Structure 1
Amino acid sequence: MELFQLSRANDVRDAIAAGAASPTAQHGAQVRFLAGGTTLLDLMKLNVEHPGRVVDISRLPLNDVEATPDGGVKIGATVRNADLAMHPLIRDRYAVLSQALLSGASAQLRNMATTGGNLLQRTRCVYFRDTAMPCNKRTPGAGCAAIGGFNRTMAILGTSDACIASNPSDMNVALTALDATIHIEGIRGSRHIAIDDFFLLPGATPQRETVLEPGDLITHVTLPPLPEGSNSLYLKLRDRASYEFALASAAVVIKVVDGRMAHARVALGGVGTKPWHSREAEAALHDAVPDAATFARAADAALAGARPQSQNGFKVELARRCLVHALTQATRTA
Structure 2
Amino acid sequence: MLRSTVIVTAHRRKAFIKDAIESVMENSLKPTEIIVVKNFKDYQIDSFLETYHVKNIYTDDETLGGKISLGIYQSSGDILFFLDDDDLFSKDKIREVIYKFSKYDIGFYHNAQEVIHNKLTGSNLSTDNQRFMYYTSIDTRRLKELLYKFKAGFNGSSIVISRDLAMRCVDLLKNVNISVDTFLLFCAVENNLPIMIDFRKLTYYRIIMSQNSNTEVNDKLFKMLYEDALYFKQIFSSKALRDFIEMSIIQHDFLYKIISKKEISKRDALISMVKMLRYSLKYPNKWNFFLQGLSLLSVFSAEKSRSLYLKKVRSNSMLSI
Choose between structure 1 and 2: higher helix proportion.
Answer: 2
TM-score, with structure 2 as normaliser? 0.33
